[in-house]
Structure 1
Amino acid sequence: MADRLKLRVIGRSEVLPKAVLEKAAKDLPFDLEFILIDSVKGLQRVVTSPETFDVYHQWHTVDLIWTARAIQAIDLRRVHNGHLIQNQALTRQTDARSIGSVFNQLFLQPSGRLGATPSDDVVMLPLLHGVDAFGYHPSALKEWPEGEPHSWGWLLDPRLRGRVAMMSDPVLGMIEAALAVEAAEKIRFADVGNLTVEEIDTVADILLHKKKLGHFKTIWNNYEDAARSMQRGVVLQSMFSPAIALLRSQGIAVSCAVPQEGYRGWHVDLCISSAASGEQLDAAYAYLNWWMNGKGGAVVTRQGYYFVLPDLVRPHLAPAEWDYWYAGKPAETVLTNPAGLPSVAIGDIREGGSYFERMSRVRVWNTFMDEHTYLVRRWREFLEG
């Protein structure tokens, strides 16, 4: 008897909560091996060993992995609702802020370069996007006058020394740290999403100084770590929305800031390994098509993520869920997180408002900086200092 086909999928735990894994495994006619590792380790594996995976949920690195020939082009004609991706690219001028950088390097051009002009071939299938800021416990607000606008500078404010946490990811962490330095030190970087060597040094030196003063209580690796740090005395930290949903399901009061300087925007997309062929390639397309039916998008909506084609998700959400997560309306019923635990109380309104309101406040999108190698070296100093 031949071995059953197995599709190997790399992604972060934030993108692939248990409910997604279970639904995909139930619906697809082959085995699934989910490899849940952080962005840095995932990127290293994808670039160096494309033969060890079939599908990759990539974060802001598609230009790098395409140049490294770790992924292959995706034929939108084999993707359910693929034409909607093309249509969205053509009409995105009406809501460019909400889509942001998703389409900038999406389509394969006749020259072999990546660009925004629609074609039948893409190098990633757009999937999820959203905004991140810092989360805080209500006790943190006691340090500021009532009504004080939220600011990234709070991450470095000495009034919170010993009660702040940061994430370990060098790319996202450096962007958030740069936003904090701008606000706290009253300076302005030319491009927060693409810092120069000198600007990286400025941010890294401030972080190292703060760390020596005991400013940071901990540094987290994933959303579960972030939730635990909030349970152990941290009152303000960089935070992903799944951690907020998890904490609220545990009855812990936590809010997501609406920084006056703007959010950090992000998107997660699906890529196919350059080594996938034959039955493995067919299975990879089947997995992409499963996501394009909206079921997975509905699951991660319940932790605060947005699907690239919201209308495909809406049939899989209760009206109260759509109204809260996308329309920015008060919750009419108790809403649950992906694990099925209550995380939104009746009457709650999502911080920042509706989908378009929140996405229009993006200040910078996750990106792979030109000085990435130097950035990682300085960030490692911060982590190990």
Structure 2
Amino acid sequence: MGSSSNGIQPAAISSGDGAAPAVDKDVDFANYFCTYAFLYHQKDMLTDRVRMDSYYNAVFQNKHHFAGKAVLDVGTGSGILAIWSAQAGARKVYAVEATKMADHARELVRANNLEGVVEVIEASIEDVNLPEKVDVIISEWMGYFLLRESMFDSVICARDRWLKPNGVMYPSHARMWVAPIRSGVGDQKKIDYDGAVDDWHHFVNDTKTHYGVDMSVLTKPYLEEQKKYYLQTSLWSNLHPNQVIGQPAIIKEIDCLTSTVNDIRNVRGSVSSLITAEIARLCGFGGWFDVHFKGRDDNPVKQEVELTTAPSEEFGTHWGQQVFLLHPPKRVAKGDDIRIKFDMIRSKQNHRLLEVEFDCEIRHSSGDPNPSFRKKFFIE
């Protein structure tokens, strides 16, 4: 269990369908895992009521999946999911955690008198050898826009190595959504970008005038850097539902029992969204996810539970939504149809980060010309 997305995961990942790019484990630990070794970060997740209530209800409303069973918690963090699994009647819980948070998890397990059931193992899941196969794999692996951080790779590895043939996954399914939105943030980002450009030109002139060095050769890479930061990097937001101006569309569905690393390494989809607001500015797109606890066809849950990170007035989450802003905004009206081709890949520089491209056409219901545009974004 983990983080603003959460959990823990390893550096080099392998699965039945091939390995991910090689990653330096020491660098990966310093850049990623260490974040989860701090209690303040765990607290951010433990105070997310949507997250906590969803997992709590999924476990305790479906005790038949846990009673007398062996459970594997991938990325246990503070150990809360492992503790709940034991309280729901599990015979044995293997709680795997790659950071020193494992020490805190052991203390918590002892304080709740469950050390005879819950075994905390400090290791990455790829390096663990368990004495048995398990009936349940539980993990809170979801990152921003579901797949940032690539932790699901580790869950897949655990599933392929340690889940019994009739075992269940908690959660069992996931979906990724996008929808057109309106927002004033894009205007401010453009102002900030223009300010950064002006500041650079003043800097170049001043440096040449006062110090005799011409810095203009660096203008192009500097402006590219600023453009990426201000205009192409997605933003975290808790959107209000009235900022969504069109029908949300599912761009990816994941069956946690059968999906492979190759299935999620490149996410592509073609969807359409009908504008539902009156005349509005299309300022960009919002992206979010939901996960479901359904069990499996031959071993279903008794009570299905959904955890959603969709825009909400009352039930915001620490995941929020990812916002992809357009510059300039596009004018749309009720009944217009936005055709979206979506393409998301992992960053070549860091496999835990993502690059997203929207290729869109607006089909105006008024009969006006149908503009198209393409925009690339970075989820960092």
Give TM class, smaller chain.
under 0.3
Structure having the higher helix fraction is: 1
- Of structures 1 and 2, the one scoring higher in RCO (CA 8 A, sep 6+) is 1
TM-score by length of 2: 0.27
Structure having the higher strand fraction is: 2
Larger Rg: 2
TM-score by length of 1: 0.27
